[in-house]
């Protein structure tokens, strides 16, 4: 028996297991998060005898007599200070890393009440945060230290929750104190566990599956194969080519394909059972890359397809060939960008059970409860399904596809049992779609003054084992490859190829991170050839209100690219004058799905029995702060106060479908739907009624963002309702070659909450510093990802440069009170700005990401 203290109480266990498993599975202290169980992420950080430790690496037999503190053991004073400081600094986004960060904060401040910034960074160095870029977490620790020393929490500011207020996000406390629930935090009576046996080979024919021995193992509830699926085996976000399980006779597409699904009373038994399943395969040659996929006579990734080309896009306007042939300066080059792993801190998890209506209820972490509902319903062959979003521990595009939700739904449907299905970190790294690897050939022609005459390009992407969002990502890569500039001749041809690699799909930037790298690098080369600065060439070409983009769209008054350039000009030129290596790049990114696809935002406001207004929308908050946005939108458009309003997480039976959290669309599209619902509420309420008078009433608002399809035969198609614009500058340290500073100026329309906007910018910039200089997702000859969470190259707190996030508040858009989404664009111009700075540093142009010969490069 091992005996130790947890939050002051003596506990004992006879089982030798990790402290993490003991705290979560036996004590149900779910504030201690399981991010990787590999000793890498830090989400499970606790204090042991005052020292920070990762609970996943310590075994219970090593804890005799020791004292463990989790956030649940904080004093009331500490809880209040950390909640205030993290809220005031804007340090909380998805929140999954936050309890671990709080324990690092406490561990530091208990020893050192007045730490320097370097000491804070050192204290946080073992904990990853994928959302915030650490800037605001560091600020929160500083602020907490100051408050602790003063012994007094500042009086609440004059936050009115109107649009433009720097309010504390509404979910700060539950995330800081760890009581907010992600799906894995559900420990329910009678819960069993599900896990899938995955394919042994990336491309093989399944000849037979024998589950007899696995089914006979005590503790196993059942083992299922494709034959047990009551509805469609093939689901998928858009194209239905994602197999729930590969049937006997079927072809595997990658190592993540499920072959069988085990339900057992505990995870240990489920894992043992998987080893007892016998599968016979006929191993076939795999398709490893774009070249193999495109080769004549290539093996087909899908039996049912006649080619490995998953998507083809051709975007053309004007005459690029002719314009380039007449240009005074022409530059061509080949570019490549890597696969990138989202590395959200929370691995995928779903809980499912049969509810009182007899429906399959799925508690999910995803980017759209309605997508989970639709795809699970399709697979089960019934719409007696509901989905409720729990907290979502980050997504960045990687939680748009089904991974565990449908598997949990299937087990519940077939067994009537309450079940949890959770991916291990290794499974997560393999299974969810990544950012696409792109190979690109670009040519740009300019006149003597640097005005772009035309751009022509050919791009190819590896979309891996199923389509996911490979088509739309390719489309966005193509439509945005022209850049935010005013010229008329543009042509691009793109193909996405199926291979037997892990799938690729949505990732913050949605294809634009790839083609922007090529366009912006060519523009920097062009500036040098012409003899003007990279800033100047952008200023000359920049799209301005009323101007026409290469896609023919006339842009509106909210267009703020020039403002983002002007605001960085002084710093950029000062760095140049001082001889510092400095790089620059611009970007544009659509808000909303656009290109003629119906794009609905929907919100229902219900005055419930508590006489409060409850906001319901089927729009997932994945950490970006949508709930806070909708409350601010409601306060601004009604006469209600913050305390009159309750934000409800997305579900599929009360909340109306408001589309996926993708394409930086929710702030604008669901925001406008919310504004319209507020108008109806105020019509009913007038100035003489209170919410009590309206109990039981509902107010519905919707908004359809109307756009023209790609290639529409109109002179000036509206491809997207709105675009965000940005300029980023990278300044290197001339001695060390490290990044000293990033300046990121972003046009966001009306900034709903500038604090959140800054947090999005800082997080996006740090994510893309990794993309530019270090992050890799290498795949071996068996199409298997090689790296673990701790070795893919994510940036840590002590490695980040100074980041100046500049929010350009330029209203002008006629929806959502002028607010434009910012989630994706923050990551787009970073890589070309950084590569340009390195060129100024050592004279070497880089065309392949992550770039080589920098202090950040990992030597194999």
Which of the stretches 88-96, 243-251, 784-792, 837-845 binds ligand FES when contact is defined by CB under 6 A? 88-96
Q: Does 565 contact ligand FES by CB under 6 A?
A: no
Nearer to ligand FES, 99 or 550 (CB): 99
Nearer to ligand FES, 106 or 313 (CB): 106
Q: Does 93 contact ligand FES by CB under 6 A?
A: yes
Rounded to the nearest whole angstrom, what is the least distance from the CB of residue 394 to ligand FES in the complex?
5
Nearer to ligand FES, 69 or 91 (CB): 91
Nearer to ligand FES, 132 or 727 (CB): 132
Nearer to ligand FES, 622 or 815 (CB): 622
Extended beta strands in 99-164, E state: none
Distance, CA of 146 to CA of 85 (rounded, Å):
9
Which of the stretches 81-89, 90-98, 378-386, 570-578 binds ligand FES when contact is defined by CB under 6 A? 90-98
Q: Binder to ligand FES among 129, 315, 486, 669 (CB under 6 A)?
A: 129
Rounded to the nearest whole angstrom, what is the least distance from the CB of residue 290 to ligand FES in the complex?
32
DSSP string, 675-721: HHHHHHHHHHHTTT--GGGGTT-EEEEEEE---PPTT-SSSS----S
Q: Does 132 contact ligand FES by CB under 6 A?
A: yes
H helix or E strand, kind and range, residue 570: helix 561-577
Q: Does 490 contact ligand FES by CB under 6 A?
A: no
Distance, CA of 505 to CA of 503 (rounded, Å):
7
Distance, CA of 472 to CA of 465 (rounded, Å):
16
H helix or E strand, kind and range, residue 314: strand 309-317
Which of the stretches 9-17, 93-101, 459-467, 716-724 binds ligand FES when contact is defined by CB under 6 A? 93-101
Which of the stretches 123-131, 409-417, 593-601, 722-730 binds ligand FES when contact is defined by CB under 6 A? 123-131
**Residues paired with residue 36 on neighbouring β-strands, in sequence order:** none
H helix or E strand, kind and range, residue 464: strand 452-464
Q: Name 730's Cβ contacts closer than 8 Å, sequence gap at least 6.
A: 582, 583, 584, 739, 741, 742, 830, 833, 834, 836, 837
Q: Are 269 and 482 in contact (CB under 8 A)?
A: no
Nearer to ligand FES, 345 or 815 (CB): 345
Q: Which residue has the tokens 């990544």?
A: 434
Q: Does 367 contact ligand FES by CB under 6 A?
A: no
Rounded to the nearest whole angstrom, what is the least distance from the CB of residue 175 to ligand FES in the complex?
8
C-alpha gyration radius of the chain: 26
Phi, psi for residue 21 in degrees, rounded to 5: -65, -40
Rounded to the nearest whole angstrom, what is the least distance from the CB of residue 47 to ligand FES in the complex?
19
Token digits of residue 844: 């070497």
Which of the stretches 94-102, 152-160, 284-292, 577-585 binds ligand FES when contact is defined by CB under 6 A? 94-102
Rounded to the nearest whole angstrom, what is the least distance from the CB of residue 751 to ligand FES in the complex?
20
Nearer to ligand FES, 71 or 264 (CB): 71
Q: Does 361 contact ligand FES by CB under 6 A?
A: no
Nearer to ligand FES, 342 or 538 (CB): 342
Q: Does 261 contact ligand FES by CB under 6 A?
A: no
Rounded to the nearest whole angstrom, what is the least distance from the CB of residue 740 to ligand FES in the complex?
24
Three-state secondary-structure class, residue 118? helix
3-state per-residue secondary structure call for 407-437: HHHHHHHHHCCCEEEECCHHHHHHHCCEECE
| Axis-axis angle for helices 117-124, 135-150 (nearest 10) | 120
* Region 138-197 residues binding ligand FES, contact defined as CB under 6 A: none
Q: Does 126 contact ligand FES by CB under 6 A?
A: no
Rounded to the nearest whole angstrom, what is the least distance from the CB of residue 136 to ligand FES in the complex?
9
Distance, CA of 45 to CA of 20 (rounded, Å):
9
Q: Does 766 contact ligand FES by CB under 6 A?
A: no
* # residues near ligand FES by CB under 6 A: 13
Nearer to ligand FES, 140 or 731 (CB): 140
* Region 95-114 residues binding ligand FES, contact defined as CB under 6 A: 95-98
Q: Binder to ligand FES among 226, 345, 530, 797 (CB under 6 A)?
A: 345
Distance, CA of 457 to CA of 560 (rounded, Å):
26
Per-residue binding string, ligand FES, 605-624, x by CB under 6 A, is: ------------------x-
What 534-538 contacts at long range (C-beta under 8 Å, 24+ apart), as own/partner pairs, is 534/583, 534/584, 534/836, 535/565, 535/568, 535/569, 535/572, 535/573, 535/584, 536/450, 537/446, 537/450, 538/485, 538/565, 538/584, 538/586, 538/727
Rounded to the nearest whole angstrom, what is the least distance from the CB of residue 767 to ligand FES in the complex?
11
Rounded to the nearest whole angstrom, what is the least distance from the CB of residue 768 to ligand FES in the complex?
16
Closest CA to 197 of 188, 209, 189: 209
Which of the stretches 130-138, 269-277, 362-370, 653-661 binds ligand FES when contact is defined by CB under 6 A? 130-138
Q: Does 785 contact ligand FES by CB under 6 A?
A: no
Rounded to the nearest whole angstrom, what is the least distance from the CB of residue 393 to ligand FES in the complex?
6
Q: Distance of alpha carbon 132 from its chain centroid, rounded? A: 12
Q: Are 23 and 13 in contact (CB under 8 A)?
A: no
Q: Does 94 contact ligand FES by CB under 6 A?
A: yes
Q: Are 347 and 525 in contact (CB under 8 A)?
A: no
Q: Does 394 contact ligand FES by CB under 6 A?
A: yes
Q: Name 201's Cβ contacts closer than 8 Å, sequence gap at least 6.
A: 252, 255, 281, 283, 284, 286, 782
Distance, CA of 205 to CA of 269 (rounded, Å):
28
Nearer to ligand FES, 445 or 625 (CB): 625
Q: Does 461 contact ligand FES by CB under 6 A?
A: no
Rounded to the nearest whole angstrom, what is the least distance from the CB of residue 858 to ligand FES in the complex?
22
Three-state secondary-structure class, residue 797? helix
Rounded to the nearest whole angstrom, what is the least distance from the CB of residue 95 to ligand FES in the complex?
5
Rounded to the nearest whole angstrom, what is the least distance from the CB of residue 98 to ligand FES in the complex?
6
Give the interface with ligand FES as residue ranges (CB under 6 A): 93-98, 129-132, 345, 394, 623
């Amino acid at each position: 028996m091992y005996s130790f203290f947890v939050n002051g109480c003596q506990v004992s266990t006879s089982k030798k297991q990790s402290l993490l498993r003991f705290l979560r599975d036996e004590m149900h202290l779910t504030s201690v998060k399981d991010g990787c169980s590999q000793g890498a992420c830090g989400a499970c950080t606790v204090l042991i005898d005052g020292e920070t430790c990762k609970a996943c690496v310590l075994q219970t037999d090593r804890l005799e007599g020791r004292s463990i503190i989790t956030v649940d053991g904080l004093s009331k004073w500490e809880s209040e200070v950390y909640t205030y400081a993290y809220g005031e600094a804007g340090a909380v986004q998805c929140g999954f890393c936050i309890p671990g960060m709080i324990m690092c904060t406490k561990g530091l401040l208990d020893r050192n009440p007045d730490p320097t910034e370097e000491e804070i960074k050192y204290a946080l160095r073992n904990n990853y945060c994928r959302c915030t870029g650490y800037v605001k977490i560091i600020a929160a620790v500083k602020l907490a230290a100051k408050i602790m020393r003063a012994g007094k929490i500042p009086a609440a500011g004059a936050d009115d929750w109107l649009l433009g207020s720097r309010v504390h996000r509404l979910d700060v406390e539950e995330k800081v104190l760890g009581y907010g629930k992600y799906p894995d935090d559900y420990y329910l009576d009678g819960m069993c566990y599900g896990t899938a046996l995955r394919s042994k080979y990336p491309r093989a024919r399944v000849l037979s599956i024998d589950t007899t021995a696995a089914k006979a193992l005590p503790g196993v509830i059942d083992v299922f194969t494709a034959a047990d699926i009551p509805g469609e085996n093939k689901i998928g976000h858009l194209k239905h080519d994602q197999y729930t399980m590969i049937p006997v006779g079927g072809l595997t597409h990658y190592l993540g394909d499920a072959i069988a699904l085990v339900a057992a009373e505990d995870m240990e038994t489920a894992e043992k059972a998987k080893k007892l399943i016998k599968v016979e395969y006929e191993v076939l040659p795999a398709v490893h890359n774009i070249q193999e996929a495109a080769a004549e006579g290539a093996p087909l990734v899908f039996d049912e397809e006649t080619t490995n080309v998953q998507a083809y896009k051709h975007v053309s306007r004007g005459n690029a060939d002719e314009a380039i042939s007449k240009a005074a300066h022409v530059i061509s080059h080949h570019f490549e960008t890597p696969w990138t792993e989202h590395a959200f801190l929370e691995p995928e998890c779903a809980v499912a059970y049969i509810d009182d209506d007899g429906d399959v209820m799925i508690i999910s972490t995803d980017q759209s409860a309605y997508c989970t509902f639709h795809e699970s319903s399709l697979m089960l062959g019934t719409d007696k399904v509901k989905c409720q979003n729990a907290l979502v521990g980050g997504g960045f595009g990687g939680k748009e596809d089904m991974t565990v939700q449908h598997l949990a739904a299937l087990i519940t449907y077939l067994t009537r049992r309450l079940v949890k299905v959770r991916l291990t970190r290794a499974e997560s790294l393999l299974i969810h779609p990544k950012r696409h690897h792109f190979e690109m050939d670009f040519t740009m022609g300019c006149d003597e003054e640097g005005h772009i005459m035309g751009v022509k390009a050919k791009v190819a992407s590896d979309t891996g084992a199923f389509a996911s969002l490979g088509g739309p990502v390719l489309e966005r890569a193509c439509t945005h490859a022209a850049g935010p500039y005013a010229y008329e001749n543009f042509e691009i041809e793109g193909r996405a190829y199926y291979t037997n690699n892990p799938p690729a799909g949505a990732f913050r930037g949605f294809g634009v991170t790839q083609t922007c790298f090529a366009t912006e690098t060519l523009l920097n080369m062009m500036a040098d050839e012409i003899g003007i600065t990279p800033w100047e060439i952008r200023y000359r070409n920049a799209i301005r209100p009323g101007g026409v983009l290469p896609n023919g769209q006339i842009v509106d008054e909210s267009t703020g690219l020039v403002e983002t350039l002007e605001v960085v000009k002084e710093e950029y030129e000062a760095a140049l004058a001082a001889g510092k290596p400095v790089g620059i790049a611009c970007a544009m990114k659509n808000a909303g799905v656009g290109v003629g696809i119906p794009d609905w935002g929907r919100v229902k406001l219900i005055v419930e029995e508590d006489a409060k207004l409850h906001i319901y929308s089927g729009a997932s908050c994945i950490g970006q702060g949508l709930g806070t946005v909708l409350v601010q939108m409601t306060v601004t458009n009604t006469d209600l106060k913050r305390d009159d309003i309750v934000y409800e997480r997305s579900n599929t039976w009360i909340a109306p479908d408001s589309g996926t959290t993708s394409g930086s669309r929710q702030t604008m599209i669901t925001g406008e739907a919310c504004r319209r619902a507020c108008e109806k509420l105020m019509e009913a309420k007038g100035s003489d009624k209170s919410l009590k008078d309206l109990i039981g009433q509902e107010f519905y608002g919707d908004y359809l963002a109307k756009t023209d399809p790609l290639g529409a035969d109109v002179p000036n198609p509206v491809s997207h309702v709105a675009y965000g614009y940005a300029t980023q500058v990278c300044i290197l340290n001339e001695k060390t070659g490290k990044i000293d500073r990033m300046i990121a100026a972003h046009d966001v329309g009306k900034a709903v909450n500038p604090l959140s906007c800054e947090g999005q910018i800082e997080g996006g910039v740090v994510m893309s510093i990794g993309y530019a200089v270090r992050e890799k997702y290498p795949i071996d000859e068996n199409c298997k990802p090689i790296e673990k969470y701790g070795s893919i190259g994510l940036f840590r707190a002590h490695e980040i440069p100074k980041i100046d996030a500049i929010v350009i508040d330029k209203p002008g858009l006629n929806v959502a009170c002028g607010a434009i989404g910012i989630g994706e664009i923050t990551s787009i111009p970073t890589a070309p700005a950084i590569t340009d700075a390195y060129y100024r540093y050592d004279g070497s142009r880089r065309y392949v990401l992550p770039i080589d010969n920098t202090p950040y490069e990992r030597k194999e």
